[in-house]
Structure 1
Amino acid sequence: MVLEHVRFAGVVAAALIAVYAVIKYRLYGGWRRFDLLLALAIALAIATVSFVPQVGNVFLGLFDLQNRGFALLVVSNLALFGLFLYLLNQLRQNGLKNGRLVSGLAIREYRERFGLRKKADGRADGSERRLLVLVPAYNEAPTILQVLRTLPESVLGYRVDVLVVDDGSTDGTEEILLSAGYPVAVHAVNRGQGDALRTGFEIACLEGADIVVNFDADGQYRAEDLEDLIRPVVEGEADYVHGSRFLGFYEEAGSVRHLGVVFFSRLISLLSGQRITDATNGFRAIRGSEVAKLDLREESFSATELILEALRNDLRLVEVPVSMLKRAEGESKKPKRLRYPLGVLRVIIQTWLR
């Protein structure tokens, strides 16, 4: 009698799953055909096991087990793990869609406010070379103007323009920048440095910048290093120049973070076949014509993704010495404890596997 009740419950559960899947797909939308087929396959499996439990005998030899119920349990756990990975991928895809929406709104508002500086400056004839310094910022009101004012007006014959991407700040960063006359693209919500860079890169492509430099808003990088950073691009020796604190000066040398960066740098060197000494440094210069080739998907931990994407697209990459100081003020926005190293490791593996 108990077995009959279990079978009946299994059949009812299978039917409910199938009906829900069909209704979700046909009436409400939002489900792809793959989602429907996956749900129906799960319903069919549950119904089959309920009606014909002997099907579990198939897995006895496969897993070298003696108990049919345990064999079915092993298979169901493997299936659940697969569904878990599928769900994670779906969440990731939704995150990418949300990021594109936030970025698209920010770019539209930016164009309405400032237009495209390429057209305003008459850059169509190539008469003036432009270096765009892209600065992602999140709640950096105390330091942002001090940092931006260290940037030169020109370097190696390139006019220096600044673009700040305010990634959903709540401390008045946007208002401070606008009052000081700096162009700023604004994310309606905080998305992470990776999304801020994607927004900035798209604007850089629209404006036709010759070189794009990433520069942090926290005062850790020195504007005096700009010339050495872009020189390999200017002289045609590289398409992507990566700043390395370990080839230059690192104010926090010997810290736990130092050891972590060394580990990740060696891992990327092993995976890519090119020696990288400072995998998480965000001070970089990219030839403007190459920026659109980079398939960037990460919301955070974007430094390692950028390196691997550049190498995957055959960009000539070199490292140059730069200085990296302590933050001028406030606390780091990087995740605390193990979230940061685990996040970096995840990005390295996922980007390498593309």
Structure 2
Amino acid sequence: MKLIIQIPCYNEAETLTIALNDLPKHIEGIDEIEYLIINDGSKDDTVKVAKEWGVNYVVNFKRNKGLAYGFLAGLDACLKNGADIIVNTDADNQYVGKDIEKLVRPILEGKTDIVIGERPVDTTEHWSPLKKKLQHFGSWVVRKASKTDIPDAPSGFRAYSREAALRMNVINEYTYTLETIVQAGRTKIAMTSVPIRTNGELRPSRLFNSMIGYVKKSMVTILRALMMYKPLMFFCILGIIVFCMGAALGFRFLFFYFQGVGSGHIQSLILASTLMMLGFSTIVIGLQADLIAANRKILEDIQYRVRKMDCEKNDKR
């Protein structure tokens, strides 16, 4: 059983050694532990620090491509190098390295395919009350969108079995954390969470510049994932709402019409007709999107089989 711990990095020379030193060297049930960094266009000595420490693999980008792209590239590299379990952690030592054993244990026991570390949000001292509330709210929205019970959706401290990693896809360029939970929940991949610890803050987060920006990007990511994995439901609900608004205005016009004063409410009739047509068109778009989603599922299955064959070839070498 081979575990590869991957760390996305962007100008992490100052903190990377601290994070690497905290990683486990041995876990019961794991035969081999290796380490991989994704250098996402760093301008400092991140790669030099990693190589001097002794990481096994470096995925190198010449320019910054974003966390989501780096995460997927790391998964792909881990699979090609024979990983049975992949753990993703941060280069700023946010998470306690010893808790990696907690992450991989449910996978080793065959209970699940994805394990997400649940941070102690309410007791994290360097987080503001607003950030804590937003974390809880965001996780609640993701739970509803994904139909899962993951309490800490934005957590990047997570473990994937080979089977789960083979099926992962991320479309947005912002972050992988939310979309992958929605994807796993909607495609019925076994997933759970375990409580983990966090360390003190070594540097401010680079994922967002403001809370408003974070909330906006997160909501767009969730909505986009929902449109991708449940398009018929999403567009039908939206279309029915718009259609019903138009129908209500139409009944209002009819009421006045039969009262003999309909000529003064022609604007309502025009707006009602427009809204009803928009609602019907939105439902039709949902039907078309559902057909596209069916083709996407076929393509994802083909991608899974190709990735699996590549892994099996690598295992035989």
Q: Fold conserved (TM > 0.5)?
A: yes
- 1:193 corresponds, among 38, 63, 67, to 67
**Structure 1 residues 269-323: Cα deviation after superposition (integer angstroms, max 9, x where no partner):** 1222222211100000110122121121222222101111122221111110011
Query: What residue in structure 2 maps to residue 153 of structure 1?
Result: 25
1:47-86 alignment, distance < 5 Å: none
Q: In the alignment, which residue of structure 2 is the partner of 1:139?
A: 11
Who is 1:267 aligned against? 141
Distance in structure 2 (CA, Å) of the matches to 1:157 and 1:134: 19
Q: Where does the alignment leave 5 or more consecutive residues of structure 2 unmatched?
A: 229-317
Larger mean Cα displacement after TM superposition, 179-188 or 216-225: 179-188
How many percent of aligned residue pairs carry the same amino acid? Answer: 29
In 1, Cα distance between equivalents of 2:151 and 2:206: 23
1:314–1:303: structure 2 CA closer, same or farther, 3 Å change rule?
A: same
Q: Which residue number corresponds to residue 217 of structure 1?
A: 91
The total of aligned residue pairs comes to 225
| Secondary structure at the counterpart of residue 78 of structure 2 | helix
Report which stretch shifted further, 145-154 or 194-203. Answer: 145-154
Cα shift at 1:253: 5.3
1:137-187 CA-partner distances (Å, limit 9, x unpaired): 111100101210111222122122110001000011112222333231111
Corresponding residue number in structure 2 for 1:167: 40
Q: 2:104 aligns with which of 212, 230, 236?
A: 230
Q: CA RMSD in A?
A: 1.7
| Alpha-carbon distance in structure 2 between the residues aligned to 1:248 and 1:207 | 38
| Number of the residue aligned with 2:261 | none
Q: Residue deviations 1:101-158, cap 9 Å, x none?
A: xxxxxxxxxxxxxxxxxxxxxxxxxxxx111101001111001012101112221221
Per the TM alignment, residue 247 of structure 1 is displaced from its structure 2 partner at its CA by 7.9
State the TM-score, normalizing by the size of structure 2.
0.68
Query: In the alignment, what sits opposite 2:285?
Result: none
Unaligned runs of 5+ in 1: 1-128
What is the CA–CA distance in structure 2 between the aligned matches of 1:210 and 1:249, rounded to whole Å?
34
How far did 1:248 drift? 9.2
Alignment of 1:1-354 (within 5 A): 129-158=1-30, 159-182=32-55, 183-246=57-120, 250-252=124-126, 255-328=129-202, 330-337=203-210, 338-354=212-228
Partner-residue secondary structure (3-state), 2:201? coil
How far has the Cα of 1:190 moved from its partner? 0.5
Letter in 2 for 1:336: N
Is the CA contact 1:279–1:304 (under 8 Å) kept in the aligned structure 2?
yes
Judge conservation of contact 2:59–2:77 (CA < 8 Å) in 1: no
SS in structure 1 at match of 2:116: strand
Determine if contact 1:293/1:313 at 8 Å carries over to the other structure.
no
After superposition, give the CA deviation of every residue in 1:41-93 in whole Å (9 maximum; x if it has no partner). Answer: xxxxxxxxxxxxxxxxxxxxxxxxxxxxxxxxxxxxxxxxxxxxxxxxxxxxx
Contact 1:247 1:321 (8 Å CA) reproduced: no
Structure 2 counterpart of 1:74: none
Aligned residue for 1:325, secondary structure, equals: coil
Instruction: Report the equivalent of 2:279.
Output: none
Task: Give a deviation string over 1:26-49, Cα, whole Å, max 9, x none.
Answer: xxxxxxxxxxxxxxxxxxxxxxxx
- Please tell me the residue identity of whatever aligns with 1:151: L
Aligned-pair distance for 1:224? Answer: 1.4
| Counterpart-to-counterpart distance in 2, 1:267 and 1:318 | 17
Please say which structure displays the higher CA radius of gyration. Answer: 1
Aligned to 1:4: none
Summarize deviations over 1:176-201 as a string: whole Å, max 9, x none: 22233323111110011111111101
Q: CA deviation at 1:218?
A: 0.3
Partners in 1 of 2:158 and 2:67 — Cα distance? 14
Amino acid at match of 2:224: Q
Contact 2:103–2:158 (Cα < 8 Å) also in 1: yes
AA aligned to 2:205 is S
Q: Counterpart of 1:146 in structure 2: which amino acid?
A: I
1:313 alignment partner AA: T
The answer (yes or no) to whether the contact 1:246–1:277 under 8 Å persists in 2 is no
Offset, 1:252: 3.6
With structure 1 as the length reference, what TM-score do the two structures score?
Answer: 0.61
Q: What's the secondary structure of 2:119's corresponding residue?
A: strand
**SS of residue paired to 1:324:** coil
- Cα separation, 2, equivalents of 1:141 and 1:327: 16
